[in-house]
A = this chain, B = another copy of it.
Amino acid sequence: MSTEEEAGTASPARRMRADAVRTRKALLKAAAEVFAEHGTEGSVAQIATRAGIGKGTVFRHFPTKEDLLAAIIGEVIDGLVAEGRRQAEQTDADAALLQFMSAGVDLYVSNRAFVEALRTVPDLRHPEIQAGWEQLIATAESLARRARRDGSLRADMNGQDVMLLICGVYYTAVPLLAADPSAWRRYLHLTFDGMRATGTQPLPPALFQGPLLPTVR
């Protein structure tokens, strides 16, 4: 978590004054905490107070609240991508895919802002988030490909499906999570059964193979 390179998160311009570097670090830490706890609705004032800085300073570092959110979410995405790559080295392709999806749903449960941000991927036009999302799809696709080859995943499932389904499983369980934070497991297993189903009708086609957002349409 904190073993990454420090300070340079999303590399702001070049060469900052020492005090600004400190301020920025405190800001990012506070924002990460507030967003994880309160979701996207956590207020800028709340973040500023927790970081011990003025409200105006937040907007000096990030032009909008959304930009700040994107910086935080970018890091969370990186973490999930890393998890996917770790799973890709496992021998059992089926288990690797399931464990990747479990990690994803679990992350959603523990970080409200993460799902809220990803759900609005088409709206949030942040290159960092778009790039992160495509990395996630690529990672998921590599896991899916292996599982397809050894027959544990149906032929018409791709990486984008995997990512979208992680989100769907989370939302399926949302109303139950307050009472039981692991209620999502039931629906992940159900979904996974659907993903391996054989001898059924072929699914209606997937929309996009590559990037989530086409320029046309």
Closest to A173 in B: B164
A172 at the interface (CB under 8 A from B): yes
Q: How many copies does the complex hold?
A: 2
Interface residues of A, dominant DSSP:
helix
Interface bits A155-185 vs B (CB < 8 Å: 1, else 0): 0000001001101111111111011100101
Question: Could you tell me the distance in whole angstroms from the C-beta of A135 to the nearest C-beta in chain B?
Answer: 16
Closest to A192 in B: B194
Segment 188-214 of A: residues with Cβ below 8 Å from B: 189-195, 197, 200-201, 203-208, 212-214
Are B172 and A164 within 8 A (Cβ)? yes
Are B204 and A186 within 8 A (Cβ)? yes
Interface size on A, residues (CB 8 A): 44
Q: Which of B171, B178, B180, B195 has a CB less than 8 Å from the CB of A168?
A: B171
Are A175 and B206 within 8 A (Cβ)? no
| Bound Cα distance A172, B207 (Å) | 13
- With A175-B164, A207-B180 already in contact, the answer to whether A190 and B194 are too (CB < 8 A) is yes
Most B-side CB within 10 Å, residue of A118, A172, A179, A205: A172
